[in-house]
Amino acid sequence: MAVKIDMTKLTLGPILFHWPAQQKIDFYARIADEAAIDTVYLGEVICSKRSPFFDKHYAEVTERLERGGKTVVFSTLAEVMLKRERNMMAGFCEETDHMIEVNDTSGLWHLNGRPHMIGPLMNVYNEDTMTYLASKGATRFCLPPELPGPSVEVMCEHAKSLGVSIEVQVFGRTSLALSARCYHARAHGRIKDNCQFVCEQDPDGMPLDTLTGQRFLAINGIQTLSHTYLNLLPELDALQTMGVSHYRLVPHTQDMVAVAQIYRDTLDAKTGADEAESRLSALEIPAPFANGFWHGKAGHQRVQ
């Protein structure tokens, strides 16, 4: 029988979007001082071309977050194709003293058995994959957001037998695909090598409509995201009972301090699901909420 975990951790995933450096600095300063967050993931996950804009700020941001009582984990690129990116991954894994979240298998070679975490973009869908990666040093797995509830429960049971922990995304747009090409640049008549960082114009992703004009997806460089925002507030109790220990919020330009407090209060049973839903809706998130994947349905759907 599953046992409800009392000590739950709220985490803040890496910023997926191309925000200006000062915006990121201000964002993390507020997270450090005000947010009910336990762990913050830093690092460029989507596009290596964005990295130089913020690399020099990681030391000061890390120090500020740790001074605010947060644990800092560094996330790797999710797609490594060029020699420059291979060298970047090698240096990142071999020189970083902090815990690393791996989002591309190339990082496993450089970590060489060192304890690390597995990010949601590694697509760990079954027990055999989890067993193999745990044998190589993985200590925590953030499961892909498209896994339905029963599958999460199976993975939680297996994680217990391996002595590793499970993390689940509970808020924010969900990553659906990565491409070798940059549709964000293409949509503006540019190519990937001369994109002029047009993705900076869309700090929460570029809306993509169907042929009938219905909002459906969001584009972030090479990444395709859901238009809807994942919201698993009503499912938190079930997740705790399954044994999930870490709950991930994906950063957006909305008030993430307020979002974190809502989820923290719900995890601590200080707020009921209905009240929490009302508080989250009051933040005027610019897209519908969804939880379809959890219920085994289309991901953009909201199942009451």
Average pLDDT over residues 115-137: 96
Q: By the 8 A CB rule, do 204 and 179 touch? A: no
Domains located in the chain, CATH noted: 9-172+231-279 (3.20.20.70)
Per-residue pLDDT, 2: 46
In sequence order, the β-bridge partners of residue 220 are 223
User: Does position 145 have pLDDT exceeding 60, yes or no?
Assistant: yes
Average per-residue pLDDT for the chain:
94
What is the predicted pLDDT for the residue at 92?
Answer: 84
Q: State the Cα–Cα distance between residues 263 and 233, nearest whole angstrom.
A: 7
Per-residue pLDDT, 88: 87
CA distance 204 to 224: 12
Report residue 277's pLDDT band, with 50, 70 and 90 as the boundaries. Answer: very high
User: How confident is the model over 73-97, as a mean pLDDT?
Assistant: 89
Answer yes or no: are the C-beta atoms of 218 and 206 closer than 8 Å: yes
21-34 and 58-67 are packed helices; what angle lies between their axes, rounded to 10 degrees?
Answer: 10
Q: What is the pLDDT of residue 6?
A: 53
Q: Is the pLDDT of residue 3 over 50?
A: no
pLDDT tens string 154-177: 999 999 999 999 999 999 999 999
pLDDT of 1 = 39
CA distance 186 to 221: 10
pLDDT cut 70: percent of the chain above it: 98
- Lookup: tokens for 68: 């605010």
> Each residue of 36-61: pLDDT tens digit?
999 999 999 999 999 999 999 999 99
- 90 Cβ contact partners less than 8 Å away, ≥ 6 residues apart: 110
Q: Is the pLDDT of residue 123 over 70?
A: yes
Please state the rounded mean pLDDT for residues 107-126: 93
Mean pLDDT of 85-114: 89
